[in-house]
Structure 1
Amino acid sequence: MSSILVINASGSESRVALIENGQISEFYLERNKEKGIVGNIYKGRVVRVLPGMQAAFVDIGLDKAAFLYVSDVYYDPDFSDQQFELTEGEHPEHEGVPDEYAAAMAPAGEEEEEGAAAPAANGDARKAEAKPSKAEQQQKAREKKEAQKKEVNIQDLLKEGQEVIVQVAKDPIGTKGARITSHISIPGRHLVFMPTVDHVGISRRIENEKERRRLREIVDALRPPGTGFIVRTVADGVPAEKLQADARFLIHIWNEIGRKKDKLGAPALLHPDLDIVLRATRDLFSADVEKLVIDDRAEYERIMRFVQATDPALASHVEYYDGEDPIFDAYGIEHEIQRAQSRKVWLKSGGYIIIDQAEALVAIDVNSGRYVGKKSLEETITKINIEAAKEIVYQLRLRNIGGIIIIDFIDMDKAQNRDKVFKALQEALGRDKAKTNVLKISELGLVEMTRKRVRESIGRMLNESCPYCEGRGTVKSKTTVAYEIFREIRRESSAFREQLIVVNCHPEVARLLQGEERDALRFLMDKHNKTIQVKPQQHYHIEQFDLYGKQEKKGERQQQQGGQQRRDGKRDEKREEKRGGGQQQAQQRQEREGRGEKREEREGRQERREERERREDRAAAAPAAPPSEAPQAAAPFPTVPEHRNGASAAEVTASTAEPAAAAGAEASKAGGEPPGQA
C-alpha cells in the first residue's frame, strides 16, 4: 500500500495528512495559539464531587474544570510515590537515559550528548533478584485490582481539595470541558507504558502469532510488577534491544513526573505530550510509509534528529519540500479539505450524501441524486448504498467525526443486499484507527454506530457559528417579525400614557409595515386611539425591535393628520375606482387632473404678462437724461412682448413704436440724434 505523510508547518498552524492509495486517511490540525492538550499529564485539585453523577470536577489550570468519571479514578494514595525499575540495584536518580531520546526531545540547535549509557536488562538478572518473585508481585497487584472492581462511590474515592495526578483523554469540545483520567499512559515509538494497569497488549495489526508471542515475552520480562505495556504496530520485527531502550525511556519519564509532583503545587502541568509534528512522526511514520514530506526547514531538521534517534532506517525517507506551490496544493490535499467542509458530498455515480453534525449526534443521509441505474431499482439502490458506505467512512476519518452516528441508507427490500452494504461498511471501518461499534442495518435502512472522539472535528475547528443567526442556520421572516410587533403593540399600548408610539425595527421590516401591512397598522391606531410611528434602524438585527412612548407635538400631529388625510383620500379614490368599475372613473379623474393643470398654466401666463406690463410702464415714465450728464449711447433693442391676449404682431409693433418716435422728436429739439441712430 503506497502511503505518503505530508506535513505543512510553514505558517501559524501545522497540518498533517496521511495519504493512502491517493486518498486522505488521516488529517490533523493544530494551531500555535490553540494547541491540543490530549496526552498532557497534570497535577490537579478536586473542586467539586457530584455523587448524583458519580463524577468530579478537577481544576487543572484551564478555563473550564475537567471532568473525571468514577471509572477513570485510580485509587492508590501511595502510587504516585512509587519509583519503578527495570533491573535490581538501579535507582531513578542514576538511571541512564538513552542519548538518542534526549537528542530527539531537545530543541533544534542543541547538540547531542555523547557517552550516555543505556544499560540493558536481561531475564537472568531478574531471576536473581532478592525481592519476591515477579509472579507473586503480579498476583498481589491483580488481587488489588479485583478489590477495586467492586462497586465504589466517587465520594469514597475523592474529596474536595484533594490533589490528583490525571491525564487528558479528550480535548475540550464545544461547551464541555476536558475529560481526564487517572489511568496514565505514556506513548513511545514502539511501546506505550501504563503505570496503573497490570496488562500486556499487542496491536491487533500484528497478525503473525509467532511474532506476537515473541513481543509478549520480551515486554513481559521488561515491565515492573503491577504495570503494563502496549506493543504498537511499528514494533513488528524490532529487536529486543530497541524495545528495552524504549521501555527504559518511558519509565524514566514517569519517574520524572513523580519527582515534579512533589515540587509543584496544583494545578500544574507535569508532562506535556509531543507537538503535532513529532507526534505524527512517532505515530504515523513507519516502514509502510513511502516517504515523509515537510515544507519547513527547522521542523525538517528536528524530524531528522528524532527519526535518527528512534528508527535510523527511516531517515532516508524524510524529504524537504521546496516547491513553488504550497505543499498541500501540490499533493491535492487542499481541495479535499474544502470538500470536507461541505454539507453535501457528491458520489462518483451521481448520488450524494448529506452530513449534518448536531450537538448529540451526526446524521448522514444517502440520496440517489442523478444516478438512475441500468437494470432494476433494487440494483440501483444497492450500488449507491455500497458506494456511499465507503465514502461515509472516508468522510468520518477525514473530518474526525466521532460520537453517535446515524446513517440513513436508501431502503432495500432484500436482506442479502442489506448484508452487502453492511459488509462494505465494516470493511471500510476496518482501516480506521479510531475505535468503532456498529449495529446491523435495521428494517428502515438505518445504521447506528459510535466512533471514539478524542479531538474536535475539523469542521468545528475550521468554522465558527454564524454570528447573525447564532448557529441556527435560519432567521425569522420579515412577516413573522411584523406580526410580533403587532402583538406587542396590542399587549403594551395601554401601558403607554403618551399619544405617540414609536416602533424601531430593521429597515426591511419597516418597509413591510409601511407597505403591505399599513392597513393592519392603521387598524391598531384606530383601535387603541394612538399614533404609531415606524422608524427603520440600519444597525438592528432582522429579528430586533422595540417600542417606546413619545409626547407628540401639536404641529407634528396636525401635519401627520393632514398627510394621513391626503393618503386616505387617494386610497379612497383608488378603492372607488376598483369598486365602481374602474375605467370610467379613472378617465374622469384624469380629465379633472388635466383641467386643473390647464387652469394653473393660464394663471401663470396671466401673472407673467401683468409683470411685463408693469415693467414697461415704469420704463416709459422715467425722465430722459440731459445730454451733458450722460454720453450718447446706443438705445437698447426694443423687445417685443408676447401676444398671449390675442393682439396681432402689427398692433404690438405699433404700440412699441409710439414711445420711440416721441423720444426721437424730443432729441431733435435738443439738437441731438434720435435714439437708436447713434
Structure 2
Amino acid sequence: MNKELIINAATHGVDIALLEDKKLVELHTEKNDARFAVGDLYLGKVKKLIPGLNAAFVDVGFEKDAFLHYTDLSPYARSLLKFTQMAISDKTPGGMDFSQFQVEAEIIKTGKINEVLNGKPNILVQILKEPIAAKGPRLSCEISLPGRFVVLTPFNDIVAVSRKIHSSEERKRLQRIVESIKGKNFGVIVRTAAEGKNTAELHEDLTELQNTWKVIQQNLHGANPPHKILSEQTKTTSMLRDLLNADFNKIVVNDKTIYADAKAYIQRIAPEKAEIVQLHNNPLPIFDQYGITKQVKGSFGKTVNLNSGAYLIIEHTEALHVIDVNSGYKSVSNNQEQNALETNLEAAEEIARQLRLRDIGGIIVVDFIDMKLPDNKKKLMEAMEGFMRGDRAKHAVLPISKFGLMQITRQRMKPEMNINTQEVCPSCNGTGKISSTLILEDEIEKNLGYLFTHKHSNLTIVVHPIVYAYLTKGWLWNSKVAKWKRKYKQAITVKSDNNYMLTEFRFYDANGEEIKM
C-alpha cells in the first residue's frame, strides 16, 4: 500500500490529506488559532466536584470548564498532585531530580473523586478530547508522551510491548532493551513501529521524551492556573510520527516553511526517507493536482455513491449515526443472496473509509442489505473488522443482529468533520441547492458505464447548456467527453437543451429513443 501526505497551507490554517493508493482516507484541518488539541498539557484548577457523576470540572482556560472523570484520574493521581505542587514551588538549581521522586500509593479503581481531589487543588492534566459542540475539553491525568517508537508514562516502572508485535522473541528483546535504558519512575509502552529497531534508536527516542519531561518540570515552575505547560506537536509532525513507515512514498507541501519543518523532522527521525518530502510548485492548487478536491466533493454529502452503482445514505442524529446501504442498479449474478453479499462487502470498505475520513465517533448503526445465510453474515463481519484495522481510533464491531443491523462504536477525539458539498444553483439564483458539478459529472459517467456494459452503443447525452460547456471544454482530445470516448471505446455525442434543468440529463440510443434509467 502506497501512502501519500498532501499538505495544503491556506489562510485559515493547514489542511492535511492522507491518501492510501491514491484514495483519500483521512482529512485533517489545523486552524491557525487552534487551542486545546489532544495531547496538550495544562496546569488546571479544580473548580467543582460532582460526587453524583464521580467527576470534577477543571478550569484550563476554555470558556467552559473541562471535564475530568474519576476513571481518567490514573492510578498515580496522588503522585501527580504531589509532583505538580513540588514542580511549581521548586527552587532547586536545574530542577528537581525526578529519579529521586517518591511515588505515592495508587488510588483504588472504585474510589470517589472527592477523596482524591479534596481541597480543589492545582493539577497537571492532559487534553483527552477536544471541545465538541457545547462541551468543554475532556481531561486525563494519565500523562503520556508519545515518541516514534515508545510512549513515556511517568510515575510507574512498567514496560509494556504492543500486542501487534506477534513474535514473542521480538517482544522479549524489546522489553529487555527498554528496561535497561529507561530512567527510574518512568513507565514505557513500546509501539509497533519499534519492531526490529536497535538499542541506539530506542535510546535516542526515549532520551528525547525524558528531556521533554524535564521541560514540563521547568514550565511548571512558578506557573499559575490556567496555564498551557506543553503543546502537542503540529498536526503534520504528529501524523508523520504516528504513520511514517516503509509504505510512505510521498509528502507534498505547498508552503516553504512547513516544507522545511517537515523535511527537518523527517531528517531527524528517518533520514533515509528525507527525499520523499517535496515542495509543490505547480500553479494548479495542490488539492486539485492530486485529485483531493474531487474526492472531498464526492465523499462528504448525505449520499455517497460507490463505483458499482450502489450507494450509502449517511444520517446524523444527536444520539448516533445511521448508514443505509442501497444496491442501486448493481447486479453481479442472478443470485439475490450473492448480489447482497457483494454489495455489502463493497459498502463495508467504503463505510470504514467514511468513518476515518469524517472522523465519525460514538455509536454507528449500519443497515446492510438483508442476507439469509449465516456464513455470509460472518463474512461481512470479518470483512468490516479487516477494513477497519487501519483505523487509529479505538473501535469495536458487533455481529449483525437479527434485524440485519450492524453496530459499530468508534472513539471520538475531536469534532466530526462536515464539508458542504453543495453549490448555489444558477437556475434559481441561490434559492435552492444542487449537487456539486463534480458529483453530477460522476453520475453521468457511472450511468454511461452501466449502459455500455448492457449492450448499448452510440449514445447521445442531452444536458443543460452550462453542463454541456463544462463537459466539452478544452481541446478535442482533452475534454471530459473525449476522455469518456477513450475510456469506453464508444461513440458518445453530447447535446445541449435550454429547456433542461441544470442537473437534468438524459440518454438516447442510436435510434434517438430515450433510455429510461
Task: Measure, in 2, the Cα distance between the counterparts of 1:368 and 1:170.
Answer: 37
CA RMSD of aligned residues (A): 2.7
Aligned residue number for residue 7 of structure 1: 7
Task: Give the % identical residues.
Answer: 35
Task: Measure, in 2, the Cα distance between the counterparts of 1:16 and 1:220.
Answer: 37
Confirm or deny that 1:22 pairs with 2:36: no
Task: Measure, in 1, the Cα distance between the counterparts of 2:236 and 2:189.
Answer: 22
Task: Measure, in 2, the Cα distance between the counterparts of 1:270 and 1:316.
Answer: 34
1:125-154 Cα offsets, whole Å, 9 max, x none, are: xxxx9x9xxxxx9xx97x944xx2352101
Aligned residue number for residue 165 of structure 2: 206
Could you tell which deviates more after superposition, 251-260 or 161-170? 251-260
Report the CA distance shift for 1:274/1:212 in structure 2 as closer, same or farther (over 3 A).
same
2:354 match: secondary structure: helix
Aligned residue number for residue 369 of structure 2: 410
Task: Measure, in 2, the Cα distance between the counterparts of 1:144 and 1:446.
Answer: 46
Which residue of the other structure, out of 176, 188, 206, is the alignment partner of 1:247? 206
1:78: how far off? Answer: 2.2
Per residue, is there more helix in 1 or in 2?
1
Task: Measure, in 2, the Cα distance between the counterparts of 1:160 and 1:338.
Answer: 52
Which residue of the other structure, out of 125, 141, 154, is the alignment partner of 1:182? 141
Task: Measure, in 1, the Cα distance between the counterparts of 2:108 and 2:118.
Answer: 20
The answer to whether the Cα contact below 8 Å between 1:169 and 1:180 also exists between their aligned partners in 2 is yes
Report the CA distance shift for 1:331/1:204 in structure 2 as closer, same or farther (over 3 A).
farther
The answer to whether the Cα contact below 8 Å between 1:295 and 1:321 also exists between their aligned partners in 2 is yes
Report the CA distance shift for 1:341/1:57 in structure 2 as closer, same or farther (over 3 A).
same
Superposition map of 1:155-166 within 5 A: 155-159=114-118, 161-166=120-125
Report the CA distance shift for 1:44/1:310 in structure 2 as closer, same or farther (over 3 A).
same
Report the CA distance shift for 1:80/1:65 in structure 2 as closer, same or farther (over 3 A).
same
Report the CA distance shift for 1:354/1:369 in structure 2 as closer, same or farther (over 3 A).
same
2:281 match: secondary structure: coil
Aligned residue number for residue 434 of structure 1: 393
Aligned residue number for residue 356 of structure 2: 397
Task: Measure, in 2, the Cα distance between the counterparts of 1:398 and 1:451.
Answer: 13
- Structure 1 gaps of 5+ residues are 84-90, 96-128, 132-136, 464-678
The answer to whether the Cα contact below 8 Å between 2:331 and 2:339 also exists between their aligned partners in 1 is yes
Which residue of the other structure, out of 99, 108, 116, is the alignment partner of 1:149? 108
Aligned residue number for residue 51 of structure 2: 51
Task: Measure, in 2, the Cα distance between the counterparts of 1:243 and 1:82.
Answer: 30
Task: Measure, in 1, the Cα distance between the counterparts of 2:421 and 2:169.
Answer: 45
Which residue of the other structure, out of 78, 84, 88, is the alignment partner of 1:80? 84
1:485-541 Cα offsets, whole Å, 9 max, x none, are: xxxxxxxxxxxxxxxxxxxxxxxxxxxxxxxxxxxxxxxxxxxxxxxxxxxxxxxxx
Report the CA distance shift for 1:241/1:359 in structure 2 as closer, same or farther (over 3 A).
same
Task: Measure, in 2, the Cα distance between the counterparts of 1:189 and 1:302.
Answer: 17
2:43 match: secondary structure: strand
Report the CA distance shift for 1:290/1:94 in structure 2 as closer, same or farther (over 3 A).
farther
1:92: how far off? Answer: 5.7
Task: Measure, in 2, the Cα distance between the counterparts of 1:385 and 1:299.
Answer: 41
1:306: how far off? Answer: 1.8
2:14 match: secondary structure: strand
Confirm or deny that 1:383 pairs with 2:342: yes
Report the CA distance shift for 1:94/1:259 in structure 2 as closer, same or farther (over 3 A).
closer
The answer to whether the Cα contact below 8 Å between 1:197 and 1:228 also exists between their aligned partners in 2 is yes
Amino acid at match of 1:319: Q
The answer to whether the Cα contact below 8 Å between 1:183 and 1:197 also exists between their aligned partners in 2 is no
Aligned residue number for residue 223 of structure 2: 264
Superposition map of 1:322-471 within 5 A: 322-459=281-418
Task: Measure, in 1, the Cα distance between the counterparts of 2:267 and 2:123.
Answer: 36
Task: Measure, in 1, the Cα distance between the counterparts of 2:35 and 2:48.
Answer: 27
Task: Measure, in 2, the Cα distance between the counterparts of 1:399 and 1:156.
Answer: 40
The answer to whether the Cα contact below 8 Å between 1:422 and 1:440 also exists between their aligned partners in 2 is yes
Aligned residue number for residue 222 of structure 1: 181
The answer to whether the Cα contact below 8 Å between 2:394 and 2:411 also exists between their aligned partners in 1 is yes
Task: Measure, in 2, the Cα distance between the counterparts of 1:401 and 1:176.
Answer: 17
The answer to whether the Cα contact below 8 Å between 2:150 and 2:202 also exists between their aligned partners in 1 is yes
Structure number, greater radius of gyration: 1
1:356: how far off? Answer: 1.1
Confirm or deny that 1:309 pairs with 2:268: yes
Superposition map of 1:26-105 within 5 A: 26-35=26-35, 37-73=37-73, 74-76=77-79, 77-80=81-84
TM-score, normalised on structure 2? Answer: 0.74
The answer to whether the Cα contact below 8 Å between 1:48 and 1:160 also exists between their aligned partners in 2 is no
Task: Measure, in 1, the Cα distance between the counterparts of 2:216 and 2:96.
Answer: 16
The answer to whether the Cα contact below 8 Å between 1:293 and 1:320 also exists between their aligned partners in 2 is yes
1:17 match: secondary structure: strand
The answer to whether the Cα contact below 8 Å between 1:92 and 1:255 also exists between their aligned partners in 2 is no
Could you tell which deviates more after superposition, 334-343 or 454-463? 454-463
1:231: how far off? Answer: 2.1
1:410: how far off? Answer: 1.6
1:528-571 Cα offsets, whole Å, 9 max, x none, are: xxxxxxxxxxxxxxxxxxxxxxxxxxxxxxxxxxxxxxxxxxxx
The answer to whether the Cα contact below 8 Å between 2:297 and 2:421 also exists between their aligned partners in 1 is no
Aligned residue number for residue 597 of structure 1: none
The answer to whether the Cα contact below 8 Å between 1:47 and 1:160 also exists between their aligned partners in 2 is no
Which residue of the other structure, out of 253, 256, 261, is the alignment partner of 1:297? 256
1:299: how far off? Answer: 1.2
1:273 match: secondary structure: coil
Task: Measure, in 1, the Cα distance between the counterparts of 2:381 and 2:13.
Answer: 38
Could you tell which deviates more after superposition, 197-206 or 305-314? 197-206
1:49: how far off? Answer: 0.6
Amino acid at match of 2:82: D
- Structure 2 gaps of 5+ residues are 88-92, 423-517
1:8 match: secondary structure: strand
Task: Measure, in 2, the Cα distance between the counterparts of 1:341 and 1:160.
Answer: 48
Q: How many residues align?
A: 413
